[in-house]
Copies of this chain bind each other. A is one copy, B any other.
């Protein structure tokens, strides 16, 4: 059926089109069913909403998700017909019934996710199948390949490209800017991309954004890294393994952790960003994603297997995740902690400093730098790391106003100090509850909001096997 396209500036979050009631009836389509829309050069499947006030007979209202892909002009004509069960639907059903998926089949699903051809419900079925039926290491490898293939890939000329990744969940755990500054000072190329907060108080991108731009195109990013040796960017705008972002959005509905997805997502993003030497930090403990060291190591082994296949040099460290790292939790408060460590201030949070030095030296060791621990300490103490951080931030902002920006950092307008009602020993700080509390206080949207912890548990020991 030939319908006139109306481009509605409507961010529906899924590929939706709007039909008038009679037109839908003529097409024999009900709400939530799927149509195929064709232009001369493109086609896509979409879900139908019926909304007679907005759309006239023989018109079709396109959500932003659809018009962006079809590139339709307003009032141009498109061919619309009821769509059959998509190829991905058939494959997801196969996986739900317990059968394995081949490389080509996983690629079909992931490419349709990227093209916005799948509904939330279909993605939820896929996630359920992955979670309950599990995936063999071969399937995880093929899923990773599909995620890399259906996205942008960065390339750098240097031989060693270093990177680090920390499995999330630990409040305040903002080692990345310090580790990047130390390692880049030691001569490593480290094109670090980070996420914004999903369920936590803030993500590295949210923290960096308090003083710098974080959204770049691949081309801009390469320029920054070539100049400063490193970057601290948001990964979201770079289109690296973009299927992951869409799948995470559906996982988030139930706050699900799905291991095959976690593994392939991290490795795919590292491959896509051109890294080849990667340090992975798996925190364990009450309130962390891995509750015990055993769980953490089981996950670590899978990272090793996957990395071996893709010829990535990786190392995995297991760190204490029983409590938040650093004192500040929330974008501005975390940035102040980072600055205090980089400026060697006396009252800087020692746990954040120690963990950053530990991770820096492990990453340097992986990249064959000699005396890594000693070197990391020297770089930090001498102020070289601070200078490198300043350079990265100024390069990202394309200006020299670093000092002005950090002077402008403001903590929240309202403050309340909460004292313990009795003295005693703190035995546990629940990361999840600290994160929830910060979200209620307004993070990450309200940059200055958050919690400042004046007290921690005892000394932290990081493990490595």
A interface residues with partner B (beta carbon < 8 Å) = 8-14, 25, 28, 31-32, 49-54, 85, 89, 92-93, 96, 98, 119-125, 127-129, 131-133, 249-250, 253-256, 442, 445-446
Contacts and interface: CB of A to CB of B under 8 A. Distances in A.
Nearest to A98: B132
* This protein's copies in its complex: 2
A374 to B, nearest CB: 44
Closest 5 A/B residue pairs (Cβ): A128-B128, A13-B31, A124-B124, A13-B32, A120-B121
A134 to B, nearest CB: 11
Nearest to A27: B445
A132 B96 CA distance: 7
28 contacts: A8-B54, A9-B53, A10-B50, A10-B51, A10-B53, A11-B49, A12-B31, A13-B49, A28-B445, A32-B253, A89-B253, A89-B255, A92-B254, A93-B255, A96-B128, A96-B132, A96-B256, A120-B120, A120-B121, A120-B124, A121-B123, A122-B124, A122-B253, A122-B254, A124-B128, A125-B254, A128-B129, A132-B133
A396 to B, nearest CB: 23
Contacts of A50: 10-11, 13
Contact of A96 (B9, B13, B89, B131): B131
A212 B249 CA distance: 47
B254 A93 contact: yes
Contacts of A54: 8, 10, 54
B8 A51 contact: yes
B28 A14 contact: no
A51 to B, nearest CB: 4
Contacts of A129: 128, 132
Given A53-B8, A54-B10, A254 B132 contact: no
Contacts of A31: 11-13
A194 to B, nearest CB: 18
A11 B54 CA distance: 11
A156 to B, nearest CB: 32
Contact of A9 (B13, B14, B51, B446): B51
B28 A253 contact: no
Contact of A132 (B8, B14, B132, B256): B132
Contact of A121 (B53, B124, B132): B124
Given A89-B255, A120-B121, 4 more contacts: A11-B31, A96-B131, A122-B124, A128-B132
Contact of A32 (B98, B249, B442): B249
Contacts of A249: 32
A141 to B, nearest CB: 23
A260 to B, nearest CB: 15
Contact of A250 (B10, B53, B121, B128): B121
Contacts of A9: 51-53
A200 to B, nearest CB: 14
Contacts of A132: 96, 98, 128-129, 132-133
Nearest to A255: B85
A269 B31 CA distance: 24
A89 B254 contact: yes
Given A120-B119, A120-B120, A96 B10 contact: no
Contacts of A96: 128, 131-132, 254, 256
A114 B101 CA distance: 35
A84 B234 CA distance: 26
Contacts of A121: 120-121, 123-124, 250, 253
A51 B125 contact: no
Given A96-B254, A132-B96, A255-B85, A49 B12 contact: yes
